[in-house]
Structure 1
Amino acid sequence: MSSQGDGAAEQHPETKLSDNSSTETDATGGAIITVTIGATVPTGFEHTAAEEVKEKIGVDVRISKDRGRIYFPITTDKLFQVHLLRSVDNLFVVVEEYDQYQFKDSKEETLAELQELASKLPWTNALEVWKLNGSLKKRKAHRRGNGNKVKPNSETTDATVADTEQQELPEAAEDQTKPETTPDIEGSKQESEDAAPKAKVLKFRVTCNRAGDKHSFSSNEAARDFGGAVQEFFQWKADMTKFDIEVLLNIHNQEVVIGIALTEESLHKRNISHFGPTTLRPTLCYGMLRLCKPQASDIILDPMCGTGTIPLEGAIEFPSSFYIAGDNNDMAVNRVVNNTRHIQKRRAEMGSVSGLPIDTVRWDLCNLPIKTSSVDIIITDMPFGKRMGSRKKNWDLYPSCLREMARVCRPGSGKAVLLTQDKKCFAKAISRMGGLWRKLHTVWVNVGGLHAGVYLLKRTGAVFGQTPEDVYESRGIVNTHEKGDDKELP
């Protein structure tokens, strides 16, 4: 659980982590602020996200005790780089954080302390970063504020989200207002005085994400009381839907992090314009792709592609490989084609190369029209037996498709990254493959509230067709499911 704390002088029994911001001066004399950025990522892929940050930004990452969050420092001159990360869902700038916040025994004392905290936090640098962040991208008119929508980590099922409740806040403090058109300066002092009251009043809301069972207060109560204190301190106005600024109060057991959101909507909302019933988040797809480390000229296959989020994410982020996307359902194949065209059109409008290294085919999953031993990597989201297919059908489907995957995958070097929540069925199917697949690693992830596994498999050197198990059952007995990317994340 995380929440942001106070950097002011009052003594608290909690342990405050190292300062989250500092200020330097560059060669031109301009101020460069160093702050801590928090990011929510698909649970289970925290280390993958940390690797991406280290690779692209060159800074060390701290993984939070609260699953699905990472923290890293950045200077304001490199702020734009955080929006280029592919493994993060939401971004926020940290105002303050406490590793061991000592909550009071009674609810009243705890809520009173949260109210006092709001006026003592070091808001200045975080608000400067928030303003700078707004100038880096085109703002949408307003993000739609759904009361339950904005969890820093939407996959964390035990977190509770709440907003400030009907707090009517007065006008904004002058230095917190959003940049507006400069008023007429014909020189008259009277004109300046007339223009001042017209400054835009900032609208805000507080979102509390709380996890842990030893708190005397609810998320609603924390958001309400802390938000009321923020209102009084800044003189902002509350608006649950058309807010300009969102203050995050993240509480995970005794870890408290307070931040200001930098993303208007989750960064995972990219690439896909035509959604299926179980479309995967591109951020999760990116984590799966990084797990198999695509190399130049690799042939990468998604035999149950659904809306195509995995191959499309790969074609954009790892374009040196070639992707084959297939499904046995006409509607799914059409969605992939439409999503591909949408991305190509968008890239052409931006003046970049519009072509994508991807091909789409309709096929029978258990009888693929692909040459034996010709695929380097297989990466797919298998049916969970929830929204697609059934657990009963999976007992026939899984062995059949794993056997066909083993046939087309290169012996000795081929890999597979497979996502499924039907763990028992998958383990049994692997055990019946006659040594064709060897499990290397498992990443446990939260997919739409379901505990699922991402399995990294290695194709052994065993020759397909020469082990007794790989002909244990007849092939092709199951071909009745419509497969999409298997679980939709909120």
Structure 2
Amino acid sequence: MSSQEDGAAEQPGPDTTVGPSISSSSSSLESDATTGDIITVTIGATVPTGFEHTAAEEVKEKIGVDARISKDRGRIYFPISTDKLFQVHLLRSVDNLFVVVEEYDDYQFKQSKEETAPKSSLMVSPLMRLWPTPSSKSHPKWRPSAESQAKTESAPEAESSQQDSGEAAPEAKVMKFRVTCNRAGDKHSFSSNEAARDFGGAVQEFFQWKADMTKFDIEVLLNIHNVEVVIGIALTEESLHRRNISHFGPTTLRSTLCYGMLRLCKPQASDIILDPMCGTGAIPLEGAIEFNSSFYVAGDNYDMAVNRTVNNICHIQKRRADKGSAPGLPIDTVRWDLCNLPIRTSSVDIIITDMPFGKRMGSRKKNWDLYPSCLREMARVCRPGSGKAVLLTQDKKCFSKAISRMGGLWRKLHTVWVNVGGLHAGVYLLKRTGAVFGQTPEDVYESRGTVNAQGDEKDDKELSEVTSGV
């Protein structure tokens, strides 16, 4: 059975579909599942670590319910009635969705593997609420299509036809499943693989399902965080953070993380939003789709990065056109030198970008020169007094030093600590102060002073040539 050690966030599952969980507190669970009555269920969602509160705010805003933030970072839980399940597809901040079958707040694990393993069969019992015993002729069809809201709303008719055909079939289809264990904590006597294997064995023995790691119908999730255990059914096959990108680069950001960064700066109608190091265009693409009243300028100094961004934009435009939506997006792409942007001074409302960490892209040594130069140029193009910047970096020491050398052009408002590919990084929200660019201490306009000095030498040389000619 598959496993993910120490609280990994991604949870693949069946084909991006949605169906009801059965709340562990519901006493009429079994009858509700069989009669098809509307019930309230609990949905679990994995989100970018650090942006749990942002995801909870989005759930409240778009679904109208309060979300509970898990003690295990990167997860939230919220209730929803089964007739409104399609609304979960409005969420842009969630990576994966799963239905909560059972929760144990204080599960008493034994000290040895031999004592813990037999309890796996007891933990399988909550799954009986979703499926009847193996001898039953039919299984509840709780996974309506989730390609769109329209398809989801029409699911009841599809379900009834599937059930009718299922009853007419001479043999019931053997369900294929896998178990994925996500475990965090160092006081367990077992590994994630061992937990997934034992729990999967109990599921297979009781339901007579067939284990299949790749072509499965159902993915059972076993989330263990210290003494907390959550059993669930995965609702997403592929993480939703891949929704916008078809051409990936070495450091492509998750679309869900991009959304969290965008919400942090609160884009307003007619804002000019700049990503000077766009990479594959993940940030401006997410913004152009979700916050489409603003205009986005995406640029990079690498040809390949610009080409990837253009290809991703074209991919989204074609997908929108195929669905009958307006294909146009409020976004433009440019190749430029990020330390000498071809943009008018004080003309940009928001700057939002993923700065090089010095790991996969660039180097820590180069960052000591790059960060002050690009922060200075960002300060030049950003509107004094009202402009904002949201910058992601893992090179925290270099970034803090560079900010301190800006002569008060930038002021830190807030920092969100996130996990990016296993690296502890910071998302910094900066405010552009009212300080006038070029009238702050020498280190702020040092590079521009060098350019002016070169210009003065050129003027002196031309003047000398003219004088000698006379």
TM-score normalised to structure 1 length: 0.79
Report the alpha carbon displacement of residue 131 of structure 1 after superposing the two structures with TM. 3.6
String of CA shifts for 1:380-431, please: whole Å, max 9, x gaps: 0000011111100000000000000001001111000000000000000000
Distance 2:422 2:61 in 1: 30
Report the alpha carbon displacement of residue 22 of structure 1 after superposing the two structures with TM. 6.5
Distance 1:102 1:179 in 2: 44
Residue 375 of structure 1 corresponds to 348
Distance 1:130 1:347 in 2: 34
Residue 39 of structure 1 corresponds to 45
Confirm whether residue 132 of structure 1 aligns to residue 138 of structure 2. Answer: no
String of CA shifts for 1:119-175, please: whole Å, max 9, x gaps: 35553289999943343338xxxxxxxxxxxxxxxxxxxxxxxxxxxxxxxxxxxxx
> Secondary structure of 1:231's match?
helix
Distance 2:192 2:183 in 1: 6
Contact kept, 8 Å, 2:101 with 2:126, in 1: the verdict is no
Contact kept, 8 Å, 2:29 with 2:129, in 1: the verdict is no
Contact kept, 8 Å, 2:30 with 2:130, in 1: the verdict is no
Q: How does 1:7-406 map to 2 (within 5 A)?
A: 19=25, 31-121=37-127, 123-124=129-130, 131-137=141-147, 180=162, 182-183=164-165, 195-197=169-171, 199-406=172-379
Residue 155 of structure 2 corresponds to none
Distance 2:232 2:382 in 1: 46
> Secondary structure of 1:456's match?
strand
Aligned-partner residue type, residue 73 of structure 1: P
Q: After the TM superposition, which segments of 4 or more aligned residues of structure 1 sit over 4 Å from their partners?
A: 20-26, 125-130, 177-185
Contact kept, 8 Å, 2:405 with 2:444, in 1: the verdict is no
Taking a change above 3 Å as real, the CA distance of residues 250 and 470 of structure 1, as seen in their structure-2 partners, is same
TM-score normalised to structure 2 length: 0.83
Pairwise CA RMSD: 2.8
Q: Which moved more, 1:332-341 or 1:249-258?
A: 332-341
Taking a change above 3 Å as real, the CA distance of residues 285 and 104 of structure 1, as seen in their structure-2 partners, is same
Taking a change above 3 Å as real, the CA distance of residues 22 and 406 of structure 1, as seen in their structure-2 partners, is farther
Residue 474 of structure 1 corresponds to 447
Distance 1:212 1:57 in 2: 32
Aligned-partner residue type, residue 242 of structure 2: K
Distance 2:225 2:140 in 1: 24
Taking a change above 3 Å as real, the CA distance of residues 56 and 104 of structure 1, as seen in their structure-2 partners, is same
Report the alpha carbon displacement of residue 225 of structure 1 after superposing the two structures with TM. 1.1
Contact kept, 8 Å, 1:406 with 1:437, in 2: the verdict is yes
Residue 163 of structure 1 corresponds to none
Taking a change above 3 Å as real, the CA distance of residues 35 and 469 of structure 1, as seen in their structure-2 partners, is farther
Report the alpha carbon displacement of residue 336 of structure 1 after superposing the two structures with TM. 1.1
Kindly indicate which of the two structures has a greater share of residues assigned to helix: 2
Q: How does 1:428-443 map to 2 (within 5 A)?
A: 428-443=401-416
Contact kept, 8 Å, 2:407 with 2:444, in 1: the verdict is no
Distance 2:42 2:407 in 1: 50
Contact kept, 8 Å, 2:24 with 2:102, in 1: the verdict is no
Q: Which runs of 5+ in 1 are unaligned?
A: 3-16, 139-176, 186-191, 478-490
> Secondary structure of 1:474's match?
helix
Contact kept, 8 Å, 2:259 with 2:286, in 1: the verdict is yes
Q: Which moved more, 1:112-121 or 1:237-246?
A: 112-121
Taking a change above 3 Å as real, the CA distance of residues 25 and 116 of structure 1, as seen in their structure-2 partners, is closer
Q: Which runs of 5+ in 2 are unaligned?
A: 1-5, 8-22, 149-158, 451-470
Larger Cα-atom Rg: 2
Aligned-partner residue type, residue 462 of structure 1: A
Taking a change above 3 Å as real, the CA distance of residues 426 and 458 of structure 1, as seen in their structure-2 partners, is same
